[in-house]
Structure 1
Amino acid sequence: MYLGLDLGTSSLKGVLIDEDQLLLAEASAPLSVERLHSGWSEQNPADWLAATETVMTALAAQNDLSAVRGIGLSGHMHGATLLDGADEVLRPCMLWNDTRSHAEAAAFDADPQWRDITGNIVFPGFTAPKVEWVRLHEPEIFGRTRKVLLPKDYLRLWLTGEAVSEMSDAAGTSWLNTGRRDWSDPLLAASGLTRDHMPRLVEGAQVSGHLREALATRWGLPTGVVVAGGAGDNAAAAVGMGVVKPGQAFLSLGTSGVLFAASAAYQPDAPSAVHTFCHALPDTWHQMGVILACTDALNWYARLVQSEAGSLTAGLGALQAPSDTLFLPYLGGERTPHNDATARGAFLGLDHATDTTAGARAVLEGVSFAFKDSYDALSSTGTRIDTLVAVGGGSRSEHWLKMLATVLDTPIDVPTAGDFGGAFGAARLGQMAALGGGVELATAPATERTITPRTELKDAFVERHARYRAAYHALKEAL
């Protein structure tokens, strides 16, 4: 058996699979986010360890874990977990959607070497500008920092005692030479750091360490269980869905929104604000368009109108032409294609007839148009999308999938029931690490159905998307 642990923003999830990669059990534990100021987003790493204990206890209650041979890790990217010389956490982890370091990111990005080496814009959500913010605003903490770890890699340190990261997650720090798959000494020096501050690097299916004996005994696992390098959340999800070859892509409708396309070559285009990262498998890369508020925008609206997101989408009925109400989903800034940490959300075109249902429809349309911006950005780089699979909590809404297929003018495949998220992909990587290769990871899930574009509504959505883009620029000018 093989175990996958996925450290998400709102929960930590664990799955157990057998030798044939069939799901045996799953468990999760909730996590909360602290937002003390506008643009801030933090978690206490101690909560990650407590959540792991909860998940492992639940899995052990469901199954005999003595047959587990490998563990894979996945997690939300870009977080800055700062440790002192005793591996004690120095401050709460600044998360991927924390945009307080926008000034620091802009200063780094103004130096051409950052884009030249990493292949990406230095986004405020990335790790390097967060650490620079700490250096400037919390110098005492920066001075005590001896290790900088990404969230899942702090979990690895606790599990194995090893400070290790892997290529897909490291590519989101702004310190990795993405083409060479190695830390960049010049970029680390520009941050006041050296390689000694960084974890050792492995590929996603390589062994990064072994589970500590005390934890193995507590949870009923055998000694010597290997822990794979794993992957950042999106690369792990791609492994879970078999999105590892050119032309394959997926659409993730989670807290954030991701359009992920696999690539066999390193082909960066930083000005497009498309992310170009290493994939979880050797000699492969991927490109992503990222929007910061996807289901998060719908959940925000549901709280505003004192309803539930599921009931709001369930009441929308058949897909219609877009309404006069526009919603900009930039509740905490935006990445692709705007690279704008100061962008904020807005409702436009409200009138007396606007009700709760119209507002919900506008929110889904606004997020769909944000995906269209990412789709166009990826297309401009030459990225090919032949197949598109939808995953994440938002993919349970048939109405939203029909809207997205129409807005993107691309059929969307819905996989058969199952878990194809980060935890499942991490478990697959754990299996490969335990067996030393030779495991077929890239098996795509069977398609339950395909959502096709509503061609009669295409022109109406094209026109409304143009208004959406104009509204963003007009609002930026006004503010």
Structure 2
Amino acid sequence: MYIGLDLGTSGLKAVLTDDHQAILAEATAPLEVQRPASGWSEQNPSDWLRAAEAVMAELGAGQDLGAVRGIGLSGQMHGATLIDKAGDVLRPCILWNDTRAYAEAAQMDADPAWREISGNIVFAGFTAPKVAWVRAHEPETFARCDRILLPKDYLRYWLTGEAVSEMSDAAGTSWLDTGARDWSDRLLAKSGLSRAQMPRLVEGSDVSGELRPELAKRWGLAAGVVVAGGAGDNAASAVGMGVVNPGQAFLSLGTSGVLFAASGAYQPDAPSAVHTFCHALPGAWHQMGVILACTDALNWYARLVQSDAQTLTAGLGALQAPSETVFLPYLGGERTPHNDPAARGAFAGLGHATDRSAGTRAVLEGISFAFADCHDALRSTGTQIDSLVAVGGGSRSDHWLQMLATVLDLPVDVPAAGDFGGAFGAARLGQMAATGAGAEIATPPPVDRRIDPDTKLQAAFSDAHARYRAVYSALKEAL
């Protein structure tokens, strides 16, 4: 048996799997985000530990955990958890969606060394600019900082007593030499830090430590349970969905949107705003196009017209030619390909005939075109996508999936019912660490159905995509 723990922003999820990767039990504990100032987003790491106690107690209440051999970890990326020499947390963790460090990020990104070594733009959401903000605004805290840990790695520190991270999560800090899969002493020095303040690095499928005996006893686990390196949330989800080989990809239609493609080589292109990170498995990398408002944009529109997303999409029927109305989904800036935190959403081409249904289609089209821009950015780096799996809340709309298939010119596979997300991928990594298994156990889920592009509408959607780009360019120029 194996346990996967996925430390998300809104909750910690745990799954228990058997040797055949069937899910035997699952549990979730909620988490809250504190926003003490505009643009700030923080959590208290002590809340993560309470959540872990809660989910482990729930798993143990229904299952005998004595046969558990490995635990895998997944979680939200980019968070800055600062601890002192005694291992105590110095301040609340600054989360991935905290934007206070935009000035520090811009200053770092202006230095070519950061993109050259890390392979990525220094986004305000990454870890390094957050620590630079602490250095500038909370110097006493920075001076006491003995170790910097990512959220799931602080959970590991509590589980094992080991300060360890792994390649996929470390790549989102801006301190990793992503091609070499090692910390960059040069970039750390630019932050006033040293390698001694960084966690030891392992691969996601490696053993990072053993569960502390007192926790094993409290939760009913045997001695010697190993804890795998694990992965950042998207890389763990990719392991759960079997997206581990070149040509494989998944489309995540959640609050934000991700087009994730596995790669067997390191091929960064920072100016494209594509994220180039290490994958959770040795010798593998991945690339992501990221849009900041996916179902979040649809839910915003639903509130605007006093409805809900499911009601709006349920009545759309078969795919039609694109709307004359253009929607830009940049409600809070955009990452790929624009790297434009000042970008904002817009409707253009409104007319007397524009009703709620037309507005819904325009919103779905705008988000789809944002994904198409991500796809173009990925292809510009040489990344090829041969198969695409859709996951997330938005994947429940076949209308939207056919629109995406048509815009991306790729068939979209919908997996059979089941949970193949970060916690499941983490459990797979725990199984790899405990048994020595490799990528062969990271198989794709069974496909429920395949949705093909509508070839008759592709030319019309291509023209609409061109209008979408023109509207963004005009709006940027005007503002």
Q: Provide the TM-score with structure 1 as the length reference.
A: 0.95
1:437–1:350 distance in 2 versus 1, CA, 3 Å:
same
Quick check: 445-454 or 347-356, which moved more? 347-356
1:265–1:82 distance in 2 versus 1, CA, 3 Å:
same
Which whole-Å CA distance do the structure 2 matches of 1:39 and 1:442 have between them?
38
TM-fit CA distance, 1:433: 0.6
Work out whether 1:119 is the aligned partner of 2:119.
yes
Moved over 6 A (4+): none
- 2:428–2:442: 8 Å Cα contact kept in structure 1? no
TM-fit CA distance, 1:92: 2.6
Uncovered stretches (5+) of structure 1, i.e. residues with no partner? none
- 2:281–2:439: 8 Å Cα contact kept in structure 1? no
TM-fit CA distance, 1:352: 4.6
Which whole-Å CA distance do the structure 2 matches of 1:439 and 1:262 have between them?
13
Match in the other structure for 1:138: 138
Matching of residues 84-95 of structure 1 within 5 Å: 84-95=84-95
State the one-letter code of the partner of 2:463: E
Q: What is the percent sequence identity of the aligned residues?
A: 77
Work out whether 1:313 is the aligned partner of 2:313.
yes
Matching of residues 24-423 of structure 1 within 5 Å: 24-423=24-423
Match in the other structure for 2:467: 467
1:434–1:301 distance in 2 versus 1, CA, 3 Å:
same
1:353–1:36 distance in 2 versus 1, CA, 3 Å:
farther
Deviation digits for residues 301-355 of structure 1, max 9, x if unmatched?
3344443332332233322222233222222221111111222223333445444
State the one-letter code of the partner of 1:150: L
Which whole-Å CA distance do the structure 2 matches of 1:145 and 1:310 have between them?
47
State the one-letter code of the partner of 2:320: Q
Deviation digits for residues 12-49 of structure 1, max 9, x if unmatched?
21111110111112222233334455543333323222
1:116–1:97 distance in 2 versus 1, CA, 3 Å:
same
Which whole-Å CA distance do the structure 1 matches of 2:38 and 2:391 have between them?
29
State the one-letter code of the partner of 1:298: L
- 1:13–1:28: 8 Å Cα contact kept in structure 2? yes
- 2:246–2:262: 8 Å Cα contact kept in structure 1? yes
TM-fit CA distance, 1:84: 2.4
Which whole-Å CA distance do the structure 2 matches of 1:282 and 1:4 have between them?
19
Give me the CA root mean square deviation.
1.8
TM-fit CA distance, 1:215: 2.0
Deviation digits for residues 68-93 of structure 1, max 9, x if unmatched?
11000011111112222332223332
- The SS at the match of 2:317 is coil
- 2:149–2:199: 8 Å Cα contact kept in structure 1? yes
Which whole-Å CA distance do the structure 1 matches of 2:348 and 2:340 have between them?
20
Quick check: 10-19 or 319-328, which moved more? 319-328
TM-fit CA distance, 1:286: 1.0
- The SS at the match of 1:340 is coil
Which whole-Å CA distance do the structure 2 matches of 1:309 and 1:35 have between them?
26
TM-fit CA distance, 1:275: 1.1
Which whole-Å CA distance do the structure 1 matches of 2:111 and 2:124 have between them?
15
Which whole-Å CA distance do the structure 2 matches of 1:101 and 1:428 have between them?
35
- 1:99–1:333: 8 Å Cα contact kept in structure 2? no
Which whole-Å CA distance do the structure 2 matches of 1:42 and 1:348 have between them?
36
Quick check: 92-101 or 18-27, which moved more? 92-101
1:302–1:155 distance in 2 versus 1, CA, 3 Å:
farther
Which whole-Å CA distance do the structure 2 matches of 1:34 and 1:344 have between them?
24
State the one-letter code of the partner of 1:47: D
Quick check: 311-320 or 18-27, which moved more? 311-320
- 1:97–1:292: 8 Å Cα contact kept in structure 2? no
- The SS at the match of 2:441 is coil
TM-fit CA distance, 1:272: 1.3
Quick check: 192-201 or 344-353, which moved more? 344-353
1:217–1:359 distance in 2 versus 1, CA, 3 Å:
farther
Q: Provide the TM-score with structure 2 as the length reference.
A: 0.95
Which whole-Å CA distance do the structure 1 matches of 2:344 and 2:454 have between them?
30
- 1:239–1:441: 8 Å Cα contact kept in structure 2? no
TM-fit CA distance, 1:128: 0.7
- 2:261–2:288: 8 Å Cα contact kept in structure 1? yes
- 1:249–1:385: 8 Å Cα contact kept in structure 2? yes
TM-fit CA distance, 1:107: 1.2
Which whole-Å CA distance do the structure 1 matches of 2:48 and 2:322 have between them?
41
- 1:253–1:392: 8 Å Cα contact kept in structure 2? yes
